[in-house]
Each structure stands twice: as C-alpha cells, then as structure tokens.
A and B are shown apart, each in its own frame.
Chain A
Amino acid sequence: MDIKRRQFLKIAGLSTIAGLGAPAAFNLLLKGESSPVSYASSGGGAEASHEAAPTGVRLAMVIDQRVFDANDGLAQKCTTACHTVHNVPNFGNKKDEIKWIFEVPFEKAFTNKSHYHKNEHLHDSSFLVLCNHCDNPPCVRACPTKATYKRKDGIVAMDYHRCIGCRFCMAACPYGMRSFNWRDPRPFIDQATHNKEFPTRMRGVVEKCNFCVDRLARGLQPACVEATGNTGAMIFGDINDSHSEISKKLAENFTIQRKPALGTNPSVFYIV
C-alpha cells in the first residue's frame, strides 16, 4: 500500500514536472531557437474577427502535399508510424475500424472544393487526414463529461477513462476523424510492435489523433512528422510564434484547410 502510494506520488510529481516543462521542451524543438517572447508575440495581424486570438501557443501542422506526391509511400509510412506508436488496433474490417491518420482522395478530404476539371495530379494524389485540433472544436462542445477537451496549447485531447462512450463527439466532428472502440481492441494490437509507453484503450471509448501530446512532453516530434524525416512533408509547431518554421511556411505558401466555412478553425493546413 505504502509503496503504491509512494509510486503514485513519484509519478504524479514527474508528470507535473513534465507538464510544466512541456512548453519549454516544445520550444526547444522549434528550429527557429526558443525566444523568451515567443509565447507573447502575436503571430501576424488579427485576421477575420472569429479567427483565433493570436496569444499563447497554438500548435498546428502544415502538410506539404507536393512532397508527399513526390515521395511514394511516404504517407503510408506516417500512418504506420502513428498507428504503431499509439497501439491502434487493426481489425481487418471496415465496421470495427479505428484510424487516427489515413489517406483519402482530394474530393473526400476537401468536400467543399471544386472537383470539376481538377488539376491532373490531384487525380492520383491522396491526402493525409487527421484530427484538425480545431481552435473552436465542435467535439469539445458536444462532450457531456469533458472527456474530450482543449488544452492551452491548442491540442484537443481525450481522457479515455472519463469517456462514457455516448459518441456525441463523433456526430459532432464535421471531419469524421473520431473512432470508437466497438469491441476490445487489445487482441488486435500487433504484439511485435506493441508500444508499452503508450496506453492501450478499452472497449466502449472514443479515440483520435492527439498530436502526440505525450511525445511532445518528452521533447519529441509527433510520430508522423518524425516519419517524414527531413523531407519537409510535414511541419509542426506554434503558429502564434511568428518566428517559428511553421509560421514562415504559412507566410510563404498558399494553404487550404478542410471545411473552413464551418468556423471550426482547423489547425491542419495543406499546401496543394
């Protein structure tokens, strides 16, 4: 009992330190060096009034489709890396399917964009889709227990132990990025690649991409970003920091988001 308590206190203490240290660790990640003013700096002028307030950290991702198109199999590598790191089960059927990041054709990823006479290369390219970590997430609004919640750094996270499995968030997500554990997922996790650092889930709870919040806390890049190596296919960082690599990327390129008209303010941007 006593040992258990001591262990608990140790873990609790460590996680608190990890939590406090996460922004710092994350800052070091950014190639543009950490600057003491980065959190307070306002990333660019305020756009439309309903855009996110440019204060604090807002973690986001740019997906450079040009790089994915030029590198066959790179997207698949991202999916495999993510699903392995997070112990995402493989049921081998569509009904039970759980997926955090996956490839879809242009017209499915961007349902509100014109597909009429579309650019030739769009016919064969497939786009990686994942949780958009919306700045204004409808899933968080819908959840009756705060099992899904938005962190200060912009990550929309899940508490698998609080989720009651009502699936209101799945109905609320306009991107179809949430999966449900329709049955016990554990027998369907490949034992050879089982990652003991990340929890497995139980049946009856919802799950989705978490922007690798646990890896960020340990100073690592998200698994999918890491899988792209130095190709530059995915850039991850704080878009409220005008000096960050991702902010520069956004400033230099025309990007699109999925269903921007819904006012959710997705944090995943695509360079087509």
Chain B
Amino acid sequence: MLEKALTGSNRYWGWIAVLLAFMAAGALSYVQQYNYGLGLTGMSRDVSWGIYIAQFTFLVGVAASGVMVVLPYYLHNYKTFGKITILGEFLAVAAVSMCLLFILADLGQPLRALNVLLHPTPNSILFWDMIVLNVYLFLNIFVGWVVLTAEKKEVAPPKWIKPFIYISIPWAVSIHTVTAFLYAGLPGRHFWLTAILAPRFLASAFAGGPALLILLCLIIKRVTKFDAGSEAIQKLATIVTYAALINVFFVLLEFFTGYYSNIPGHMHTLDYLFFGLHGHAQLVPWMRVSTIFGIVAIVMFLVPTTRKREDTLAIACVLLFISLWIDKGIGLVIGGFVPSPLEEITAYHPSFQEIMITLGVWATGFFILTVLFKIALAVKEEKMIS
C-alpha cells in the first residue's frame, strides 16, 4: 500500500517539500548540537529539561487521544467513528514517533540510548515509559495497517486483530499515566508532586488530541474527496468540550490546594507561571494567552451555533490546541524547575538551534502523518469510486 504515498497532486508534493525542508533544517541543527553538546540549547543546571521534554510530554497526550475514536467504535460499536478510526490510530503513530525523537534529541549521549535495554531498571519510570511508548507505537501501526489492508481487499478485518485493539485501549491510558509518573513521583518538585497530574494529563490530552483530529478532518475534507461527516466531527467536538471542562476543573483544584493551604512550595510555581515570582515573570504572558485562549475556546465549544459552524469550530479547535500546547508544551515542564531545589530562579530561553530541532521533529511527525493519511485516504477514495 506504500506506493499510494508516491502519487499525488502538486499540492501534495509541495507540502511534502515544505516538511522535508524543515526536517533538513532540523537535522542540520541537530548535527551542530551533537558535535557541541546540549549546551547549544538554552538548558542549564537549574532548568535541566527544556522544550524537547515538554514537547514529548504534550505529544504523548496527542498519541493517547487516539483512544477517543478507537474506544467508541470498537467497544460501543459507534459506527459513525468507523470512517475516522484509522485517522486516530495513524495520528497516534505520528505522535509517538515524535515523542521518541524528542527523547533522543534530549539525550546527552544518544548513542548509548540502548543502555536502557541493556541494563533494564524496573525502578526507573523512564524504563517503563520506554516500554509503554514502543508497544503503543507497535499496536497502532499493526492494528491500523491490518484493518486498512482488509478494507482495501473489501473484506472484514481478521478476528485475531481484536485482542490487539482491545489491548490498545487501556494501553493509551497507560502511556500518559506513566508519562505523568515521570514527574509526579519526584520528591522536592512541588509543582509536579501531585496525585492529580496523571488525570490532568489525560483530560488535557483528550481535549487537545481530538481537537487536532477535528482540524485534520476539516482540512482533509477540503483537499480530498473524503468527508468524515458532520456527525463524527460533532461527536468529537462533544468529547473535546467535556475533556476541556474537566481539564479546567483539575487545574482549578491545583489552584485551590496551593492558595488555600498557603504552603509556599505549592504556590511558588503557580505564582511564577501566572503572576510572576519575585519579579520573574518570563512565562506569565504565555500562560495568560493560554488561559484566555482556553476560556474563549470552551465558550465557543459550548455555544451550539459556534460549535456547529465549521469555520468557528475550526477557530475554537485552533485556540484550544494552542492553549493546551502552551500549558503542557511549555509551562508544565519548564515551570516545574522554578524555583530550583535551592530556591533560585533561573530563566530559560530556547536557543535558535533548539527551536529548529523542535520544528524539525514536528515536521517529521507531520511527514509521517501525511504519508499515513495519504495511504489511508487513497484506499478509502478507491472504494468510493468503485
């Protein structure tokens, strides 16, 4: 089926060329980083993880969100999602691939990455994260490919694929839970040391991921003959609305615990992110944009007219996606390092190369996404013609 990605319109090839250009720029920057060391980034002794790990964390959520179409279709036989299940699975594949690339980009000694397998260490959450992410990647490629092949041959998917599909559902929850455990189990990092981190991760993931999927469906409708159908899109919008509201609720719980208990450690990072701490307010504009975008998006999702119109729905999805990306892709990880264990405040500014590598990885993800979607949609279009 891969050959279907090799034929396409000029617009398709133009898009591929843009992605390849960003991938090449990212690769060049990575060569620089590889030769110099991670000092080429903006990270430091105090802020020892930066946008790479933040992107990784955010994208694990996007990957996990694939379950929001898989679960209703396969467990509840919700037929409307049948058309877009494959898109959810392939989105997960692209997202997990980006996660793995971001981890590699963040390693000080990338050539030693396999030490994690050579010296398996079950007490390290990173070891488990490596396992759940790779298995999830396999499950989604495998299930997606087998089901799509069956669709191409116009036969029902083989029965033996069912167990893999059923496993992939709790597995999606596991990848984001384990990723939250990377943070939530560290003593002395008050902002992360909260039992609600994993549920909060899942809520924001189930809002952000399907929002992206809605946007992708709307784009696909314009550039191909494939239409996911307004019922599927509206159902996704409902999922996004509930998940976004639950996420806001969880964030407000953090604020309550921090400010009502009045324990300094529980307030410091929230202060730093939203109001400024001892005059340091580097991330305050970002977090305020995130807050405003989030509120506007949720209102647009709640009001029936703006939810039902495709153009306003698209705007709401973009706003929500940006809001959640800032919250998790910037604030959560970088904020967690402020203040440091010695209660010092160190600013972090990603370097030019760091941003280029980040864009390069995103471009790689979209490249994988484009190729996989192209194949899936070609199969579906063929069927529509015949």
Contacts and interface: CB of A to CB of B under 8 A. Distances in A.
A142 B124 CA distance: 5
A142 B37 contact: no
Interface string B186-197: 111100000000
State which size class the interface on B falls in: 35 or more
Contact of A171 (B36, B40, B49): B49
A154 B116 CA distance: 24
B171 interface: no
Contact of A174 (B113, B183, B188): B188
B124 A168 contact: yes
B44 A95 contact: yes
Contact of A205 (B109, B187, B341): B109
B188 A163 contact: no
A108 to B, nearest CB: 4
Contact of A183 (B36, B123, B124, B346): B36
Interface in A160-178: 162-168, 170-176
A97 B43 CA distance: 11
B127 to A, nearest CB: 5
> What DSSP secondary structure best describes chain B's contact surface?
loop
A182 B45 CA distance: 9
B151 interface: no
A166 B114 CA distance: 12
A180 interface: yes
B134 interface: no
Most chain A CB within a 10 A radius of its CB, from B38, B46, B107, B124: B124
A162 B114 CA distance: 10
Contact of A172 (B39, B118, B121, B186): B186
Nearest to B336: A171
B126 A165 contact: no
Contacts of B48: 167, 170-171, 180
Contacts of A98: 45
A144 B36 contact: no
A181 B43 CA distance: 11
Contacts of B115: 144-145, 147, 162, 164
A164 B113 contact: yes
A175 B336 CA distance: 14
Contacts of B118: 145
A179 interface: yes
Nearest to A96: B39
In the complex, the 9 A-B pairs of residues with the closest C-beta atoms, listed nearest first: A165-B108, A174-B188, A204-B108, A182-B39, A176-B341, A183-B39, A203-B37, A144-B126, A183-B37
Interface of B: 36-40, 43-46, 48-49, 103, 106-110, 112-113, 115-116, 118-119, 121, 123-127, 130, 182-183, 186-189, 336-337, 340-344, 346
